[in-house]
Amino acid sequence: MTGLEALTVAKATATRLSKVRRLNALLTPATTVRKALVAQAKAAHPSGVLYGMPVAVKDNICTLEFPTTCGSKLLEGYRSPYEATVITKLKAAGALIAGKANLDEFAMGSSTEHSAFGRVLHPLDRTRVPGGSSGGSAALVAAGAVPAALGSETGGSVRQPAAFCGVVGIKPTYGRVSRYGLVAFGSSLDQVGVLGRSVHDAARVFSVISGRDARDNTCEDRDPLRLPTVPERLEGFVIGIPKEYFPVDLHPGVRRACDRAIRALKDLGAAVRDVSLPHTAYAIPTYYVIAPAEASSNLARFDGVRYGNRAEGVTTLADLYRRTRGAGFGAEVRRRILVGTYVLSSGYYDAYYRKAQQMRALLAQDFRNVFDRGVDLIFTPTTPTTAFKAGERTKDPVAMYLADCFTAPANLTGVPAMSLPIGRVKGLPVGGQFIGQPFLEDDMIEAAYALERAISATEEA
């Protein structure tokens, strides 16, 4: 790509982004994005591997070009004085930061209905949700506005919206990608992830943002991931199918799509085996102890003292905290802070937090047991259903939480996972999930390349 072409791409991207504004997926105003894209295209170094590639960024990742709001009133207009390591890496590779994507407030949600700046519409059916919390990122990619976008995962927030919107979503191994500049939700679970139009688009961006960072002590001292080549066949791959991910009440369309994908994997030469991950059912309860516990502490800094929006006319310190946080945080964020505060409280810690950590170890052991017996990858549905209707689950938090039941185990155990579209049911996309071994994302991506070519993602299952 030449400099002139990069400029053309930048302008075309700005136009495409303004055409999908009705989705409410982008929080950055159209004119701001256009100016920023043009400026970046002129400055970008042509030798970068992502030169000229526009990448939208979930608005909980700090950028210098745009405010970082986390979808919260409390941080409306907040500008970070520094940028996230992943952003620095993207820019160094020549990518263009294409504005900030809408999200559930502080990445807490599975439908992107919990944004202080309004819900995101599903690109294929505006009455439905795009999934969440990286719903803005998924919708922008699905609508064709950008080839890839950054999201973040704590319990499935990249894979679940990727599945709902029919795009590819990668959740790296915990420690593969720097979290520096990702506004923390559940620090032991959080990873920056990538949504892409294709396996290749997602994998290229993932490769660039991966690797060591001296600013993040939980980021492993490893080289960036080397992209695998696209395989013709999957001979030699052993793929495990865990029965716990195919319960009797699984959406029949999702089951059909998965069965078709499993047949395709066999046809590609992979050995498919039934396996068991016996503690899977405990993943969601475990997740909803650990994630809120960490969140209650991570979100304590939003107190109105140093930055963000402070309640006016306060007279006492307690009043400052109460009113700033009461008015600044939405209902779902407040709910999780309360739950998290409760489970860490003296006298309850052992019953909840400690127990959840023990369960987390059992979940990790489940995966090790399967991988130790010669299984290379696990294949499952990404979500139990296709995209649901807006408003359908907002009154029932538990129903909303169950949307992450197949994705949360990978976050709790740190293993890598990705979702790719494997067909449609009544016009709505279905996602298939590969779960891999720690730091062996290349195996997962290789299998995804082959499966992507073997099936039609837009065909009814």
Site residues for another protein, window 371-410 (CB under 8 A)? none
Question: Could you tell me the sign of the dihedral formed by the alpha carbons of 64, 121, 192, 148, in that order?
Answer: negative
CB of 338 to another protein, least distance (A): 13
Single out the residue of 163, 152, 160, 25 nearest to residue 16, CA to CA.
25
Both tokens of 389, joined, read 């209707």
CB of 184 to another protein, least distance (A): 7
By CB under 8 A, tell whether 184 contacts another protein: yes
Among 81, 221, 249, 313, binds another protein (CB under 8 A): 81
Among 84, 95, 142, 363, binds another protein (CB under 8 A): 84
Task: CB nearer to another protein: give 317 or 398.
Answer: 317
**Looking up tokens 């909980």, which residue turns up?**
60
**Looking up tokens 């979808």, which residue turns up?**
71
**Looking up tokens 């304590």, which residue turns up?**
300
Among 56, 149, 182, 284, binds another protein (CB under 8 A): 182
By CB under 8 A, tell whether 218 contacts another protein: yes
- Structural contact between residues 261 and 379, judged by C-beta atoms closer than 8 angstroms: yes
Peptide bond into 188 cis (omega under 30): no
Both tokens of 8, joined, read 């053309």
By CB under 8 A, tell whether 295 contacts another protein: no
Among 89, 159, 179, 424, binds another protein (CB under 8 A): 179
CB of 158 to another protein, least distance (A): 17
By CB under 8 A, tell whether 68 contacts another protein: yes
Binding mask 113-152 for another protein (x = CB under 8 A): ----------------------------------------
Cα 194 to Cα 30, 72, 203, distances in angstroms: 23, 22, 8
Among 12, 39, 43, 300, binds another protein (CB under 8 A): 300
133 is catalytic: yes
The span of 6-14, 181-189, 395-403, 443-451 binding another protein (CB under 8 A) equals: 181-189
Binding mask 307-346 for another protein (x = CB under 8 A): x---------x---x-------------------x--xxx
- From the list 80, 111, 115, 133, the catalytic residue is 133
Task: CB nearer to another protein: give 62 or 378.
Answer: 62
CB of 331 to another protein, least distance (A): 21
Name the DSSP letter for residue 353.
Answer: I
DSSP codes of every residue in 190-220: -EEEEEESSHHHHHHHHHHHBS--TT-TTS-
* Integer Cα distance of 178 and 202 in angstroms: 17
Among 71, 109, 169, 186, binds another protein (CB under 8 A): 186
Among 188, 365, 385, 394, binds another protein (CB under 8 A): 188
By CB under 8 A, tell whether 297 contacts another protein: yes
- Structural contact between residues 64 and 97, judged by C-beta atoms closer than 8 angstroms: no
Q: Name 57's bridge partners.
A: 100, 150
Determine the straight-line distance between the first and last CA of the chain, rounded to whole angstroms.
38
Burial category of 437 from C-beta neighbours within 10 Å (exposed 0-12, middle 13-18, buried 19 and up): buried
By CB under 8 A, tell whether 40 contacts another protein: no
Q: Is 99 left (phi over 0), alpha (psi -120 to 50) or beta?
A: left
Secondary-structure percent of the chain, ordered helix, strand, coil, rounded to 5: 40, 15, 45
The span of 20-28, 182-190, 253-261, 434-442 binding another protein (CB under 8 A) equals: 182-190
Radius of gyration of the chain (CA): 21
CB of 340 to another protein, least distance (A): 9
58 is catalytic: yes
- From the list 157, 178, 207, 419, the catalytic residue is 157
By CB under 8 A, tell whether 76 contacts another protein: no
The span of 20-28, 81-89, 359-367, 447-455 binding another protein (CB under 8 A) equals: 81-89
Burial category of 7 from C-beta neighbours within 10 Å (exposed 0-12, middle 13-18, buried 19 and up): middle
Task: CB nearer to another protein: give 170 or 299.
Answer: 299
Other C-beta atoms within 10 Å of 386: how many?
24
* Integer Cα distance of 132 and 122 in angstroms: 11
* Integer Cα distance of 348 and 42 in angstroms: 56
157 is catalytic: yes
Task: Provide the binding-site residues for another protein, judged by CB under 8 A.
Answer: 61-62, 68, 70, 75, 78, 80-82, 84, 179-184, 186-188, 214-218, 293-294, 296-297, 299-303, 305-307, 317, 321, 341, 344-346, 349, 353
**Mind telling me the catalytic residues?**
58, 133, 157
